[in-house]
Amino acid sequence: MEEEIVQFLILLGIVAFIGLIGLLFFLKWRQTKKFQAQVYHLPTPPEKTGVLAENNLLTQSEKILKGKLDGPESVLVEDGTLYTGTADGRIVKIVDGKVEKYLNLRDDFGTRGKFKTEPHFGRPLGIRRLNDDCLVVADAYNGVFKVDLNKGQVTHIFCSHTDVCGVKCGYVNDLDVLDENVIYLTDSSVNFQRRQFTNVMLENAPSGRIIEIKVWSGDSRVLLDGLFYPFGIQIHPDKQSLLYAEAVKCRIMRYFFTGPKEGQLEAFATNLPGVPNNIRLSADGKSFLCGMHVARFEDKPAPVDRLSPHPTARRLLVTMIPDEILGRLSKIILPKYGLVVQLDLEGNIIRSYHDPKGKVKFITHAADDENYLYLGSMHNNYIARVPKVV
């Protein structure tokens, strides 16, 4: 009798465990009903030849404030001073390799920089200069802030919960400043938040937008929609067009917002050797720098290449694996290859910086001054600095 009871309890435990797994799977499935994986095919990745020939220019980088910066995704470089935002919701000013000042976007108490608390404390991403006194920062969850580090002031100038053409922002990412009144902003997905960035990559749906914000009036409008994970944004020196990176398409697009070509959309750089993130104009104004979060070459395609024809597999990944774990797994699975490309003003790659050993990896941002490149990453705990090639 006792043996039968033990067997019954074991069976009951197994059934309960299977039922629990089934319930969790069902709840996750309900959460991902809006996940609509798209079939797409990328061109064969480029070869490591010519301007893309493998080198070690990034391998010997200096790591500024290693272990003291959590995910400096974007970096503003000004006369030797660096500004960045970190995963714990801080805006940091760095002078001579040391933190001189910092400011929290929100001063609430609590555990910062964690998956569950990130929406509350905010996640600063794109950072730019607005005027002589203030920076402007894109917060993935809360919109756009004006930050005066000298006065210790933070002003909310655009709330991501505002309906823009009837839809709220889901994942505010990068921004650029046309003048003190006009800001262009990427909303990477209206379906998912930043902490679900793997969902955005795996879905490859046209759910991203570019939004125009009028600082003085608070008005906003959709400039472009139906975009595939728009990430970085950069106004072209012609002041008539802007560039934006479509991460899952491995390309940079150019949109003319004024001038003779107003309203026209053109491919600027296609079949890039990686997943493009932020785009920045070089210090001399003659080229653009773009960090590649994940490199892709003919001899080593990226997961984005391998998974693109398989929407069912991508949906299973999102359905079966919790978002937090999926994000962590991406850092383990993705190729550890550091890469930055430099493009001329017409979109031709003219130089590339490599780290085949992956000492500097997951590069989301590259900016420069007269002598150095500064590299940011949402996964690394430092800003990397390497000498420029002239």
Q: In CATH, what number is assigned to the domain containing residue 75?
A: 2.120.10.30
One domain, residues 53 and 27: no
One domain, residues 1 and 127: no
Query: Is the per-residue pLDDT at 8 higher than 60?
Result: no
One domain, residues 59 and 23: no
Query: Is the per-residue pLDDT at 184 higher than 50?
Result: yes
Which comes out higher in pLDDT, residue 350 or 11? 350
One domain, residues 19 and 133: no
Average pLDDT (215-244) is 97
Average pLDDT (379-386) is 97
Domain presence at residue 361 = yes
One domain, residues 129 and 193: yes
Domain presence at residue 71 = yes
Collapsing DSSP to helix, strand or coil, 201 comes out as helix
Collapsing DSSP to helix, strand or coil, 323 comes out as helix
Domain presence at residue 37 = no
**Band of residue 23 on the pLDDT scale cut at 50, 70, 90:** very low
Which comes out higher in pLDDT, residue 163 or 9? 163
Mean pLDDT (the chain) is 91
Query: Is the per-residue pLDDT at 15 higher than 60?
Result: no
Domain presence at residue 303 = yes
Q: What is the pLDDT of residue 2?
A: 60
Query: Is the per-residue pLDDT at 12 higher than 80?
Result: no
For 80-117, how does the pLDDT look when each residue is reduced to its tens digit (9 = 90+)? 999 999 999 999 999 999 999 999 987 765 566 788 88
Residue with tokens 């004024």: 258
One domain, residues 189 and 53: yes
One domain, residues 237 and 168: yes
Average pLDDT (34-53) is 90
- Contact of 97 with 62, CB cutoff 8 Å: no
One domain, residues 243 and 359: yes
- Contact of 177 with 130, CB cutoff 8 Å: yes
Domain presence at residue 93 = yes
Domain presence at residue 38 = no
One domain, residues 258 and 139: yes
One domain, residues 25 and 126: no
Q: Is 257 exposed, middle or buried (0-12, 13-18, 19+ CB in 10 A)?
A: buried
Domain presence at residue 145 = yes
One domain, residues 291 and 342: yes
Residue with tokens 């990430």: 231
Specify the number of domains making up the chain: 2
Instruction: Calculate the CA dihedral of residues 45, 48, 52, 57 and round it to 10 degrees.
Output: 120
One domain, residues 12 and 79: no
Tokens representing 196 are 């679900």
Q: Which domain holds residue 5?
A: 1-31
Helix or strand run (H / E) with residue 152: none
- Contact of 137 with 120, CB cutoff 8 Å: no
Residue with tokens 């990068």: 174
**Largest Cα–Cα distance of the chain, in whole Å?**
89
Query: Is the per-residue pLDDT at 16 higher than 80?
Result: no
Domain presence at residue 370 = yes
pTM of the predicted model, to two decimals?
A: 0.90
Residue 237 is classified by DSSP as: T
Tokens representing 321 are 């694996």
Average pLDDT (268-273) is 99
For 134-163, how does the pLDDT look when each residue is reduced to its tens digit (9 = 90+)? 999 999 999 999 999 999 999 999 999 999
Looking at the chain, the whole-number percentage of residues with pLDDT higher than 70 is 90
What sign has the CA pseudo-torsion 311, 29, 331, 108? Answer: positive
